[in-house]
Amino acid sequence: MISLKNKDIISILDVTKEEILYILDISKRMEEEGSSDILKGKVLANLFFEPSTRTRLSFETAMKRLGGQVVGFDELGTTSTVKGESLRDSVKIIEGYCDIIVLRHFLEGASRLTADSVSIPVINGGDGASQHPTQTFVDLYTIKKVKGGLENLSIGFLGDLKYGRTSHSLAYAMSNFGAEMYFISPPSLRIPKDYLEELESRNVTYHEVESLDEVSSKLDILYCTRIQKERFSDPVEYEKVRGVYKLSKFVMDELDVKDDLKILHPLPRVDEMDESLDDTSYAVYFQQAHSGIPVRETLLATVLGAIQ
Amino acid sequence: MKKYEVSAIKEGTVIDQIASRSTFKVANILNIQGIDQVVLIGYNLSSKKLGSKGIIKIEGKLLTQEEVNKISLIAPDATVNIIKDSEVVEKFKVAIPDSIEEFLKCFNPNCVSNHQNVQSRFHVINKNPIRIRCHYCERHMGEDDIELV
């Protein structure tokens, strides 16, 4: 019997294959059934120490659609952090005001520290360049939906694989399902060795390449990510790699790809994906964005024990 | 009588089988500059097991568990010999613990443990070669990344 009651959702490494499948099954039910009041009387604290629109709003919407309430902030300037308060003190105080915390922070490991500091459940809404597990559930839900399952897929990760936390989390998650992985990036943005070691320990077959056309014909899924300007300390380094990959309808027509290839992107995009791609059969990234609601409803409801 | 390349001590601790390149790192862990007693260091000695080894002999010193844990990360093959009346009364190999707290610094400058008043914590994922994972940011560190504090 799987129960996620009081479980912190910090890293995809903490979640078993069975728990992933359970979350995806409940998410499907949530999408079919729509709103309810199963979280009536519960309060979510949305603590966003770093800007976010999608993650913050989708958690807020998810909580409200299940009858719950939301408090929180989305910029550092309005918090006691600017007065020098430690993160641990801040969250220990805030836990008295709410039933669950969603935290986004610019420091890696901030969610783990929060979870270790409070007794209510904590969901990692993205910390630094580390993990972003709830986006991963959204990605998995979308892949399962468009491919009919998760087993034995070939998945390409394109773009910023050094700092792109959504790629890191998704690669870990897909290692549960026998995926063959292709990491496509410029040399300066290759996936860090840590992640490859973890994948090797899970017997994942992977390949590192620089150009998409070397591997495009093999892919069932192409997971495209933005090159994140905010993660570069040196603007010169950013300029060297920005725009290195540009997907468009024209590019896809030229590439040798499977007819049923699907392209995902956690959004926002900058110039790595042209709007001409949006109406092709490959594009599922808006569908992916909309899946954020049922998936986050599921995470809130299961860790709060409203669904068991 | 056995001839030693580094003279024997009467009472204290001998740390043997230190890979040569790690000898002075171990000496730093033990803060030997602050020790008043006799300290003998052998470096680049021949070793069947390691090829080239270091040895540190400290008169009148017993290691703490924390010192043994630190040495295990820098010199995983090291053995510790406790000497009394010029005889070895206890001998053991250092062992890398399953988790490490406090005396290591995460090498990731963006890790929360380097910015907040929080005790660092690592999980050992492989002992030989040593690989550890930060409890907070989950970054992996190897022997070259390890920085003792």
ipTM: 0.88
Write down the H helix ranges in chain A. 17-33, 54-65, 87-94, 110-117, 133-147, 165-174, 193-201, 235-241, 249-254, 285-290, 292-303
Mean of the per-residue pLDDT values for chain B?
A: 91
Residue B78 lies in a domain: yes
Question: For residue A101, is pLDDT > 80?
Answer: yes
Average of per-residue pLDDT across A218-233: 84
Most A CBs within 10 Å, among B137, B140, B143, to test the A interface: B137
Closest Cα to residue A265, out of A291, A239, A231?
A: A291
Domain of B106, in residue numbers: 99-148
> Does B121 lie in the same domain as B72?
no
Residue A231 annotated among the catalytic residues of the structure? no
CA distance A179 to A123: 26
Average of per-residue pLDDT across A161-170: 90
Would an 8 Å CB–CB cutoff place A129 in contact with chain B? yes
For position B1, what pLDDT does the model report? 54
Question: For residue A5, is pLDDT > 80?
Answer: yes
Residue A54 annotated among the catalytic residues of the structure? yes
CA distance A173 to A267: 19
> Does B89 lie in the same domain as B16?
yes
> Does B86 lie in the same domain as B107?
no
The verdict on a CB contact (< 8 Å) between B110 and A110 is no
pLDDT band at A107; cut points 50, 70, 90: very high
The verdict on a CB contact (< 8 Å) between A108 and B112 is yes
Catalytic residue among A28, A54, A190, A242: A54
For position A231, what pLDDT does the model report? 65
> Does B106 lie in the same domain as B128?
yes
Instruction: State which of A48-62, A193-207, A293-307, B96-110 shows the largest mean pLDDT.
Output: A293-307
For position B59, what pLDDT does the model report? 94
Average of per-residue pLDDT across A167-196: 93
Residue A83 annotated among the catalytic residues of the structure? yes
The verdict on a CB contact (< 8 Å) between B112 and A105 is yes
Using CB atoms, pick whichever of A107, A112, A198 lies closest to residue B110.
A107
Would an 8 Å CB–CB cutoff place A131 in contact with chain B? yes
The verdict on a CB contact (< 8 Å) between B138 and A13 is yes
pLDDT band at A170; cut points 50, 70, 90: very high
The residue count of chain A comes to 308
Q: Which of A112-116, A130-134, A225-229, B77-81 has the lowest mean pLDDT?
A: A225-229
Q: Cβ contacts of residue A4 below 8 Å, gap of 6+?
A: A19, A22, A23, A302, A303
For position A216, what pLDDT does the model report? 96
Residue after which a domain boundary falls, among B53, B70, B93: B93
- Tell me how many domains chain B contains: 2
> Does B79 lie in the same domain as B16?
yes
Write phi, then psi, for B117 (nearest 5 degrees): -80, 80
Residue B142 lies in a domain: yes
Residue B27 lies in a domain: yes
Residue B48 lies in a domain: yes
Residue B81 lies in a domain: yes
Q: Which residue did the predictor score with more confidence, A243 or A30?
A: A30
pLDDT band at A243; cut points 50, 70, 90: low
Residue B88 lies in a domain: yes
Q: Which residue did the predictor score with more confidence, B10 or B147?
A: B10
> Does B25 lie in the same domain as B75?
yes
> Does B89 lie in the same domain as B53?
yes
What is the helix (H) or strand (E) element at residue B67, kind and residue range? helix B65-74
Residue A102 · residue A123 · CB < 8 Å:
yes
Average of per-residue pLDDT across A168-187: 95
Q: Which residue did the predictor score with more confidence, A144 or B145?
A: A144
Mean of the per-residue pLDDT values for chain A?
A: 92
Would an 8 Å CB–CB cutoff place A210 in contact with chain B? no
For position B129, what pLDDT does the model report? 86
For position B124, what pLDDT does the model report? 94
Residues of B in contact with A193 (CB under 8 A): 140
